[in-house]
Chains A and B, each alone.
Chain A
Amino acid sequence: MKAKVFVTLKASVLDPQGKAIKHSIELLGFEGISDIRQGKYFEIAIDGALSEQQARDEAVRMARDVLSNPIIEDFRVEIES
């Protein structure tokens, strides 16, 4: 089983890296991009003995306590069996 954790900056937090990436992409000629926000993605291999719900609960705890900083970031967890 695999937990996928997506960590993104809160909407209220400025993302200068995302802005710089957007600028570079626009220099390549891409148009119509209104915004780019950079985030982090984690793949966590989880022991198959856990139920899907247990795996989700564990991944949420990891995301909340370690992988994200709740002051500036939000997270989302997906479980892939």
Chain B
Amino acid sequence: MKFGVIVFPGSNCDHDAYHVISKHVGQPVDFIWHRDTDLGGYDAVIIPGGFSYGDYLRVGALARFSPVMNSVKEFAARGNLVLGICNGFQILCEAGLLPGALMRNRGLHFICEHVNVRVESADGPFTHELKPGSILRMPIAHADGNYVCDDATFDELRRDDRIIFRYCDPNGELTDGANPNGSRDHIAGICNRERNVMGLMPHPERACEDLLGSSDGRDVFRSLAGTLAAAA
């Protein structure tokens, strides 16, 4: 199984993702420059966090026009796995691969801290190794993580069990204080209809070593690798 990590000008969690895939998942991984268009040979693609194009215009807006994104769309349409983390989630929303948008945090501040998220759905390639209701501790680092969508989209996300993670307190409760950015219904991560594209604001790739404060993020990558191993 082979992974690709897309690199835009301004990506800054690309090396973290690469490190986790090579060291913890133990699989081959390449950096893919945003001008490349050949995703042949890859089984999963990660769109990492960072500040692609300096967040100019809107977060994720200009990355959508990079040549690689057409390839990512085709890659996803063929059922391959695409994981967008933080800025990657923002890019997937701008590109229309995931519904909704990520706006400025409710409190306007850039927030960099560990948060708790509750696993809402274990139905899918990124969380099937996790237990619904379990709590993961992962860092967030963003100014624009406030998830918004219209009522029709929200109803669809809920009906189809496509809300994968919600921000919660240490006991798993959805208290207002546990919602760091004002996201609708505490949404921290969602997937597409086909469930092969997931975006989330927290950083599982930065939560894979106890030394860094949490290793809960490993479960996400274990699920991802397990899905690919089962398909191979």
Contact = CB atoms under 8 A, between A and B. Distances in A.
Interface of A: 12-14, 16-17, 20, 66-67, 69, 71-72
Given A71-B148, A71-B150, A72-B148, A17 B100 contact: no
B87 to A, nearest CB: 15
A69 B65 CA distance: 14
A69 B148 contact: no
- Please tell me the size bucket of the interface on B: 10 to 19
A72 B103 contact: yes
Contact of B101 (A14, A17, A72): A72
A53 B93 CA distance: 32
Which secondary structure characterizes the binding site on chain B? loop
B231 interface: no
B61 interface: yes
B108 A67 contact: no
A37 to B, nearest CB: 13
B104 A16 contact: yes
Which secondary structure characterizes the binding site on chain A? loop
A14 B182 CA distance: 10
B120 interface: no
Q: Quick one: which of A12, A14, A17 has the most chain B CB within 10 A?
A: A14
19 contacts: A12-B150, A13-B103, A13-B148, A14-B182, A16-B104, A16-B107, A16-B108, A16-B182, A17-B104, A17-B108, A66-B57, A66-B61, A69-B61, A69-B94, A69-B101, A71-B148, A71-B150, A72-B101, A72-B103
Interface in B38-92: 57-58, 61, 65
B1 interface: no
B107 to A, nearest CB: 7
Contacts of B103: 13, 72
B116 to A, nearest CB: 23
A16 B181 CA distance: 11
Contacts of B99: 71
A71 B106 contact: no
Contacts of B58: 69
Interface string B134-155: 0000000000000011100000
Given A17-B108, A72-B148, 20 more contacts: A13-B103, A13-B148, A14-B106, A14-B182, A16-B104, A16-B106, A16-B182, A17-B104, A20-B108, A66-B61, A66-B65, A67-B57, A69-B58, A69-B94, A71-B93, A71-B99, A71-B101, A71-B150, A72-B101, A72-B103
